[in-house]
Structure 1
Amino acid sequence: MTLTWGKELWDQYENLSTHTSKGIEFLEKYGGFVKERILIEKDYATKLRRLVKNFQPKKKDEEDFEFTTWRAFRDMLKEITDLAGQRERVAETFEEQIIHGILILAKTLKDERKKCLTDGANLNNSLSNQLASLDRAKRNYEKSFRDSEKAVESYQKADADLNLSRADVERHKITMNSKIQLSDDAKNEYANQLQKTNNLQQQHYDVLMPDVFNRLQELDEKRTRGFREFMKGSADIESSVAPIIASCLQGIVKAADSIDEKDDSHKVIERYQSGFTPPNDIPFEDLSKSLDQSDSSSNTNVNIQNNMLTVKGTMGANKMKKRVGLFGIFGSNKKILEACINVKNSLTTDGLKEDYSDLPPTQQRKKLQAKINEIQQKISQESNARDGLMKMKQVYESNPSLGNPMTVEGQLNESEHKLDKLKADMKKYQGYLTKANSIPLGNNSPQANRNLYQNGHRVSRYSNGSGNSAEIENDDSHDDHHEDGGSLSRSDSEDNVAQIENGLNLNNNGSSASPESGLGTSHTSLPGSGQGSAHENPNDDYEPEVLQPLGTCIALYPFDASSEGSIPMIEGEELQVIELDQGDGWTRVRRGQGSSWEEGFVPTSYISSTLFA
């Protein structure tokens, strides 16, 4: 048996009105909940995207993507971005379907409830009016009945009173009859209103108001049904993105499974392996043998020191030759300068040499192979572009209406030029790689490794500051040999450029040069100066060239040469710049020219230099 509001709740109009109002308010409250959830979903998606952006690997970290952990982390960030997209999709669908549906349903329910309550109020008013009419008719009947009774009683008294005339009795009779008639009319009216009220009341409670209540019931059931559909729809929206979210989570798991600790360890070996073998055992030093040789070695050391003191500051001294070979590289030999400039131009953008010879052997081969692969890719791309241009030219030649073949000629020539340059680069780097592969990896000692490489980069043979005198002598003879030949080997020129770039002023012992070191003392060929003999040391087999001036300078302040290697100057004096400041605050200048000249160091801040173009 179906229960209805119209039958079971026929007398609960006010409660039903309150109940339906609360139901619609609850529906709107659920809509507010969904709105808050949408804001949370959007905020969550925004924060996820911001999180991914903050932890997105930078371009400088691209080299680390060879490790599986970095690649897995990058893949995980992509999946997190997809997750954020799905949360945004949930929020948008909630807004389009749930919120929009709730707003429409709530408005419909309010309108229908208002209409039902209006109809119910009108029916109640009609019933109330009819009951009021019945009450009035009843009261009128009661009054008329009492009046008729009084009239009958008055007539009976008058008829029994012998003192009253016949006319008075008749008058009481007429009044009685009138009151009785009025009572009967009121009675009929009361009966009529009672019948109408009963009919209306029966219609009201059996048909009219049950219809209103049933409509309210349908309205409330519609709200309840809508609430159910909205909740189910929310779950369906979540379920629709669940496979994609599951796929994202599976992607994260897959990215995690791709992490291989052994592969990463191998990548570390590939990145940092130098190619050298561990050093051999350190030999035992027998001090008893060194005592037997102490006398001869001490005599040799005394001679060397005396020789160094004798020739210190002279233009023909070995120290001056080493100074010219290292610190004075800009002016001692034009060919050396040109070779150094070529080496400088051959450096890569990251500060390495063109053949990567300043890297350990394994890293050098790796860099060269990567460079060859890069050039091969460029050659392939350029070849495809050239083939496309040639086809376009053939089409233009076969059908001139499509275009002028000469417009493609310039592009073809440029493409051919690029290809030739790329092929030349390919041949050059293949030669570098062949040379690198042909170098055997010897058993280097720790000291040699430290001298050749520091932190995986080659350093100058003079920068370690620990070379012995025999090695220096060999280096001197090596340098003399090349300078006499008027040329400089590639390795020597590269080492010199590395020293110049690092601002190292080195003497033959590997220590930093300054005006006080004796390498920059003034020189003159004036007679009787005691410093102008070009052949003071009989062991010298050549005379260094006079350094060519790099520009001129004006003395801004007077300077008294109080330190060895510096020369004095007066304010406003013009001098020749023969060697630039290499980071130590001193500039090498020359006074005079021809057969009479003097050169040395002055403070860079004391002069204003103008270099030749």
Structure 2
Amino acid sequence: MNWGTELWDQYDNLSAHTLKGIDFLEKYGHFVKDRATIEYEYAAKLRRLVKTYQPKKKDEEDYQFTSCKAFKILMNEINDLAGQHEVVAENLQANVIKELNALVKDIREERKKQLQEGNRLTQTLQTQLENLQRSKKAYDKAFRDNEKALENFQKADADLHLSRAEVEKQRANLAYKTQVCDTAKNEYAMQLQRTNELQRQHFRSGLPEVFRQLQELDEKRIKNIKNFIRSSVDIERNVFPIINKCLDGILKAADVINEKEDTMLVIERYKSGFLPPDDIPFEDLSKGCSDSGSANNINNIQISGKLKEGGYTVKGTITGKAMKKRAGIFHIFGSRGNAAIADGKEDLSDLPPNQRRKKLMQKVEELKSKVAQETAAKDGLMKMKGVYEANPALGDPMTIEGQLNECSHRLDKLQGELKRYQGYLEDAIKGIQSGQNNSLTNSPRMVNGSRHHRNSGGSAAEEESLSRSASDSSVTNPTINHNKQSAPGTPQLNHGCSNSPESGLGTSHTSLPGVDSDPDQYDGHTADPESEYYEADLLAPMGVCKALYPFEATSEGSIPMAQDEELHLIEEDQGDGWTRVRRMHGELEEGFVPTSYIETTLFDK
């Protein structure tokens, strides 16, 4: 079944049908284009939503809670979902819309070509029919003229009154008309034969071929619509696995939420370290106590009139109102970090015990980082001086001397400051421990001859944490005896580690959660008292680097590397000529290498 034989006389209808088909194909193309636009807009709105709810820098401290971490992971997954919708839109644009527009253009041009061919064939047949009509009219006229000439000759031949010359004239006219009639008859017969042959070719081969081409174009159009629909489905189905992974990631983010862990973080963040006030003693005035003494005892209890703003204030206790005022002055509970060190006392003795310990830990960590940088800078200057001494053509060693002296002076100053704050930290920890011990030994409450401990938030886990912090202080402070017996339950450190904990260089196996890590971070797991040391959280690599030259580590904090070795980039050059890297393979080793010896490539953010 084809159009050439079944629809041989439906040229105009086929022309209109193919035009409508192309218009429908264009309409489907507009639909896919609008669908891709919607995908782009949806992805853009998802990204804008994620950007709107990204944590601000001032709120980063709150994102240590598991619920906030889960929300942050959820936003990352939503951002990935937006990327998948962009992939759908891009693939629709490249694989469907582009090909569809090209197909519409080709079909339209091919249809125009076939219709022009059909018009040409039709015009040729029409011209031949007109020629046939003219030849037929000429033959008809010649035939009537011949009959009239014959009739005139017969009348003349029968009329005896006409001369012989007149009869011959009629005979000659009859012969001429007969010849013209025969010529017109032959021309008519020839045009009729030619017309029939052309008409036969037109309706049996010429026009059917045109209709067949139009049929193929229409079938091609319909088939490609089916293929485009299938391609659109495949494009969307291909992103389903990634979308499912994003949804799985959101479920994992939900599993990260731990209400107990967040509760511990709140305790760690806001715990002051003070103990609840003792019971108010009863003053029996009938025993002869002086009124002034009783009044003095009562006056020692400072009762606030606004119980809603913090209850009562007892000596050694900070109310909620006083704490709010202190936070407004020193910003110790805000996001300014160590601003309280500059605004308040140097040893932070004006802070609550637990908050003081946290701030001192942060200050010690900051000083350790600065000591590590200055140490790396000094090592770099020493190495440069050694190179100049070995090869004077490269430079004068004396030019490095001034910089080396300044670096040594800064390093000595930082180390002295570090020791001073380590001493403050040790005092703060001892103060917390002694306060807890005094609370236990001086408690007036006795149950069956045994002391009744207050539930003041001081658990065994907390004591272990404090003991661990004290042990870490003994590690970081070189003046403390490393062989000193630590508190019961306190994990022993691996003092045989070759990397100095003060420098902060090399591997970080001696880092403790109490000092070397963020005190506000809580991973929900208690430390194993049987382990020799604790692993600190490794910094995420910023990129990769490749060694251009071999390097042998000659100073503490640096690591060797072979030529063409690839390493992870942990920290960029801070202006001292050294870059912090970590090995990608084998034993986990981290340290500094010369910046000029490597070629770095940063990850895309």
What is the TM-score normalised by the length of structure 2? 0.58
Question: In the TM superposition, what is the alpha-carbon distance from 1:197 to its structure 2 partner?
Answer: 0.6
Work out whether residues 98 and 230 of structure 1, in 8 Å CA contact, stay in contact via their aligned partners in 2. yes
Alignment of 1:387 with 2:379, yes or no, is: yes
Name the CA distance, whole Å, in 2 between partners of 1:350 and 1:235.
Answer: 63
Distance 1:412 1:182 in 2: 128
State the partner residue of 2:404: 412
Rg larger in 1 or in 2? 1
Q: Which residue of 2 aligns with 1:538?
A: none
- Checking the alignment, whether the CA contact within 8 Å between 1:276 and 1:443 is kept in structure 2 is no
User: 8 Å contact 1:347–1:353 — kept in the other structure?
Assistant: no
> Which runs of structure 2 are paired with 1:24-423 in the superposition (5 Å)?
24-156=22-154, 171-286=169-284, 288-289=286-287, 293=290, 348=340, 351-423=343-415
**SS of match in other structure, 2:340:** coil
1:7 maps to: 5
**Within 1, Cα distance between the matches of 2:393 and 2:228?**
66
Q: Which residue of 2 aligns with 1:517?
A: none
CA RMSD of aligned residues (A): 3.2
**Counterpart contact for 2:3–2:208, Cα < 8 Å:** yes
Change (3 A) 1:296 1:177: closer
Instruction: Encode CA deviations 1:44-70: one digit per residue, 9 max, x unaligned.
Output: 232222222221111111211211122
State the SS of the aligned residue for 1:378.
helix
Q: Distance in 1 between matches of 2:342 and 2:292?
A: 52
Q: Which amino acid aligns with 1:20?
A: T
Q: Distance in 2 between matches of 1:154 and 1:246?
A: 106
Query: Is the alpha carbon distance of 1:204 and 1:295 closer, same or farther for their aligned partners in structure 2, counting shifts above 3 Å?
Result: closer
Q: Give the Cα–Cα distance (whole angstroms) in 1 for the partners of residues 396 and 93 of structure 2.
A: 59
Offset of residue 268 of structure 1: 0.8
Instruction: Verify the 8 A CA contact 2:3 2:212 in the aligned structure 1.
Output: yes
- Taking the aligned partners of 1:297 and 1:382, their CA distance within structure 2 comes to 61
Partner AA of 2:118 in structure 1: G
Q: Please list every run of 5 or more consecutive structure 1 residues that lacks an aligned counterpart in the other structure.
A: 299-345, 446-613
Q: For residues 296 and 247 of structure 1, do their structure 2 counterparts lie closer, same or farther at Cα, with a shift above 3 Å needed? A: closer
Counterparts of 2:212 and 2:292, CA distance in 1? 129
Describe how 1:510-549 pairs up with structure 2 within 5 A.
Answer: none
* 1:296 to 1:263, Cα distance in 2 relative to 1, 3 A: closer
1:350 and 1:41 map into 2 onto residues whose CA distance is 52
Structure 1 residues 417 and 184, CA gap change in structure 2 (3 angstroms): same
Distance 1:295 1:66 in 2: 52
- 2 CA distance for matches of 1:347 and 1:191? 116
Secondary structure, aligned partner of 2:418: helix
Deviation at 1:175, TM superposition (A): 4.1
Decide whether the 8 Å contact of 2:341 with 2:348 is kept in 1.
no
Instruction: Specify whether residues 42 and 405 from structure 1 end up closer, same or farther in structure 2 by C-alpha distance, changes over 3 A only.
Output: farther
Q: Deviation of residue 270 (structure 1)? A: 0.9
SS state at 1:348 partner: helix
Q: Is the 8 A contact 1:393 1:408 kept in 2?
A: yes
* 2:430 paired residue number: 438
Corresponding letter in the other structure for 2:365 = N
1:396 shift after superposition? 2.6
1:254-301 deviation digits (Å, cap 9, x = unpaired): 2222221211111111111222333333333445457x7459999xxx
Distance 1:81 1:397, change over 3 A: farther
Distance 2:110 2:141 in 1: 46
CA contact (8 A) 1:44 1:87 kept: yes
The amino acid across from 2:77 in the alignment is E
In structure 2, what is the Cα distance between the partners aligned to 1:144 and 1:72?
105
Deviation sequence 1:539-594 (CA, Å, 0-9, x none): xxxxxxxxxxxxxxxxxxxxxxxxxxxxxxxxxxxxxxxxxxxxxxxxxxxxxxxx
**Residues 1-45 of structure 1: per-residue CA shift (max 9 Å, x gap):** xx3333333222222222222222223223322332333233223
Q: Using a 3 Å threshold, how does the CA distance of structure 1 residues 349 and 161 change in structure 2: closer, same or farther?
A: farther
Identical residues among aligned pairs (%): 56
Aligned counterparts of 1:230 and 1:295: Cα–Cα separation in 2: 98
In structure 2, list runs of 5 or more residues that go unmatched: 296-337, 443-605
Distance in 1, Cα, partners of 2:170 & 2:198: 41
Between the two structures, name the one with larger relative contact order (CA 8 Å, sep ≥ 6): 1
Count of matched residue positions in the alignment of Structure 1 and Structure 2 = 395
Say whether the 8 Å CA contact 2:283–2:294 is kept in structure 1. Answer: no
Relative to structure 1, the CA distance from residue 171 to residue 98 in structure 2 (aligned partners, 3 Å threshold; closer, same or farther) is same
Provide Cα deviations, 1:174-213, integer angstroms capped at 9, x if missing partner: 4444444333322221211111011111111222222222
My pick for the range that moved more, 430-439 or 378-387, is 378-387
Instruction: Report the equivalent of 2:530.
Output: none
* Structure 1 residue 172 displacement after superposition: 4.7
Indicate if the aligned counterparts of 1:93 and 1:237 stay in contact, CA closer than 8 A: yes
